[in-house]
Structure 1
Amino acid sequence: MSSPAFLSEPRVSVVGSFAELIATPFSDGVNALCWPRTLVGDFAEVVARLGLGQGITTLDAGMLRALPLSAAGKAAVEAMLADHHLLTEQGLEPVLNGINGYVQPEETGPVRTDVCSFHVDSATAEVDTWLCTYHGASSEGLPNEQAIRRVDVPGTRALLLKVYGGADDEGFHEWMNDHYYDLHYAPLPDAKPYSFGIGCLWRVATLHDGCPVPPCIHRAPDPVRGQQRLLLIS
């Protein structure tokens, strides 16, 4: 089996434990930390028993433990709940989601702004994004050097200015920020996105004042027919 592509990414650093994942600072351009794991359990059985409706379903311990599961299915549930507990103990607010497609906005304007578009997360305080895909198509990362902000593409910026109806000034920049347009990125022609993998727990840098590295560009997978997901996010 080939090694995961992220192992060779200079902006990704691999750690060997949850304690190391928490304690390792972002530095020297590294904006994504990964704890690779092979989790025990039948996560496909959990998805099958959930019978997910369209969109995103928030999962809790009561719902998951009430499912009629085999021993392997129960092991998968406990693995997810163990991660949820680890993050909660750190003062975070993790959420377990069952995802059966994403409801796309009817009107996105000149720039796509849904979670399936490459984007960075932003915050008003020092905080990171945590992610783990347990089943289904995995989240993806994109090296910063292989991307351009969509608002910096001349044609797209011209369309945005037309919608805005004003000059390319501070007001325009604030308007783009208010609509999250400036957080989304387009891959460059030779870009090579990398998969976050299954079972790996990630901590990625967000855009906030004082962040020592560029924020991590990532996305949810574009909807894949028939691939329902189990995801932890905080």
Structure 2
Amino acid sequence: MSIASKFAVVAILSGAGVAAQAAPVTYLGGDNNVSSLAQMVNSTAAAAAFLSVAGNLNTVDFESALPANLTITGGVTTNNSGCGALCGFNTTAGGQYFRSLVGGSATFSFVNPVDAFGFYVTGLQTNLVSQQTIVYVDGSSVTQTINVPSATDGGGAFIGFIDYGNLIASVTFNATNDIVAFDDLRFGRSENNPGGPNTDVPEPATLALFGLAFAGLASTRRRKSS
């Protein structure tokens, strides 16, 4: 193989490394039959793990107007679900408002793209309705789907993910036929990307291919000079 061909191989592999997209890192916890955040032990543990990695993110607790960098389509902000904890409730300490969603879906759109997103959802009956999901398109135009953890009989859950370095413009929560509430949103750019702030990290297999390509190039040069 000529040196020009070797360089072509390296270029192709470099492109593959940039395009490689790992699955999102998820932080999920669910609790059955709850009526307050204090009862949501698994959910709050998942939220704490998410925030410890994601770092300082934007917070929306629905106690005031939405920030200018977020638009939500679907649901209504309220302090009364109409059917008690079975249909969801506030999870903000000292607060009372939340976003109520009667079936269907809610879409969160961001002025500045994000790679980290999470929130509490209550009023779940995953034993009675179709699988609820979080859906978004990552930086490589691949649609990612995250299933809501099991939470029955008016249960609660935390759903969070970090998709390092990707530019995510919107996230959709599909509640299917359930009546639920969501609260205490967190969104933004994660601070603790292992590859550096907001950068894509080539997968190990791709890095290994880089090494093989450069080794072949060095071998060719040695033969030419001998």
TM-score normalized by structure 1?
Answer: 0.33
TM-score of the superposed pair, with normalisation by structure 2: 0.34
Whose strand fraction is larger, Structure 1's or Structure 2's? 2
